């Protein structure tokens, strides 16, 4: 069987930002990824992320064998929806601080969209007006290192973000991840799912950051009720894969090793 991992990133964080995590999984695992979700004009962001899931599935259909799937935040939900739609491309799924939404969660999201307060229950409101341009990498590094979201980043991960999340323009550097696309992704968070959790045909692990407020207790209980679901917690906040990449990789290795042994016994 293939030891390929297909990684899907968090909203606004290009996959290369996670380079230290990818390196920690090598050489046993080969990490594949799409550099930026939501930026291919063939798959424009739409409500409930149907096109984003199709964009991911197009990548998975090019793999020679089913993969171990890992997704952070946005990426975890994309993999979950894709695995419900086409489980043949998956061996197992790890959602890193991605909420497994309940019916009540979906009802709230639907209401928030209709009544116009979706920006208050997603990070969209905080993304509006974000600084996009910098004179040079030193200025960008100083700016991001002072922001609470980045303050606990592993130093190498912060360097990777500054290196890979910015692109040269005539007046210096600009964010590579289009801010309008990032906001659109938040505003179109799914209130519908291709199936129910019990219909997932592969093992699932939801890993929460200890200090994160993204995965709630009722969502953790839903995971534990699944026949092949498990719930874990690692130190850090919502960005723990970039705060503690080595610890994250160690947990992924343990999960994949155990799931592979269970495959062999099945």
Q: What is the rounded distance in angstroms from the CA atom of residue 164 to the CA atom of residue 18?
A: 10
pLDDT, one tens digit per residue, over 42-93 is 999 999 999 999 999 999 999 999 999 999 999 999 999 999 999 999 999 9
CATH of the domain at 194: 3.40.50.1820
**Share above pLDDT 70 across residues of the chain, in percent, rounded to a whole number:** 99
**pLDDT at res. 197:** 94
**pLDDT at res. 2:** 64
- Overall average pLDDT of the 239-266 stretch: 95
Question: What residues make up the domain containing 104?
Answer: 4-265
- Overall average pLDDT of the 97-102 stretch: 96
Dmax over CA atoms of the chain, in Å, equals 59
Asked whether the predicted pLDDT for residue 266 surpasses 70, the reply is: no
Average pLDDT, the chain: 95
- Overall average pLDDT of the 163-181 stretch: 94
Q: What is the rounded distance in angstroms from the CA atom of residue 233 to the CA atom of residue 209?
A: 6
**pLDDT at res. 1:** 52
Q: How many domains does the chain have?
A: 1
pTM of this prediction?
Answer: 0.97
**Share above pLDDT 90 across residues of the chain, in percent, rounded to a whole number:** 94
pLDDT, one tens digit per residue, over 218-227 is 999 999 999 9
pLDDT, one tens digit per residue, over 3-41 is 999 999 999 999 999 999 999 999 999 999 999 999 999
With 0-12 / 13-18 / 19 or more C-beta atoms within 10 angstroms meaning exposed / middle / buried, residue 106 is middle
Nearest CA to 96 among 240, 253, 254, 250?
240
């Amino acid at each position: 069987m293939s030891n390929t991992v297909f990684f899907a990133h968090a909203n606004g964080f290009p996959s290369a930002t996670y380079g230290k995590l990818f390196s920690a999984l090598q050489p046993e695992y080969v990490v594949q990824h799409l550099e930026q979700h939501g930026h291919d004009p063939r798959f424009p962001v739409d409500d409930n992320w149907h096109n984003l899931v199709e964009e991911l599935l197009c990548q998975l259909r090019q793999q020679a064998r089913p993969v171990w799937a890992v997704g952070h935040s946005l990426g975890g939900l994309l993999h979950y929806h894709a695995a419900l739609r086409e489980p043949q491309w998956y061996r197992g799924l790890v959602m890193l601080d991605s909420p497994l939404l309940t019916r009540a969660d979906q009802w709230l999201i639907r209401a928030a969209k209709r009544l116009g307060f979706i920006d208050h229950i997603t990070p969209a409101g905080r993304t509006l007006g974000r600084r996009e341009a910098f004179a040079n990498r030193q200025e960008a590094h100083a700016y991001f290192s002072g922001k609470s979201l980045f303050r606990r980043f592993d130093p190498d991960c912060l360097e990777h973000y500054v290196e890979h999340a910015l692109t040269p323009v005539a007046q210096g550097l600009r964010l590579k991840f289009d801010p309008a696309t990032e906001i659109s992704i938040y505003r179109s968070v799914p209130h519908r799912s291709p199936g129910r959790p019990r219909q997932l045909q592969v093992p699932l692990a939801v890993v929460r950051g200890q200090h994160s407020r993204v995965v709630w207790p009722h969502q953790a209980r839903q995971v534990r009720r699944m026949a092949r679901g498990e719930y874990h917690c690692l130190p850090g906040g919502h960005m723990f894969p970039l705060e503690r990449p080595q610890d994250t990789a160690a947990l992924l290795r343990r999960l994949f090793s155990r799931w592979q042994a269970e495959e062999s016994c099945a």
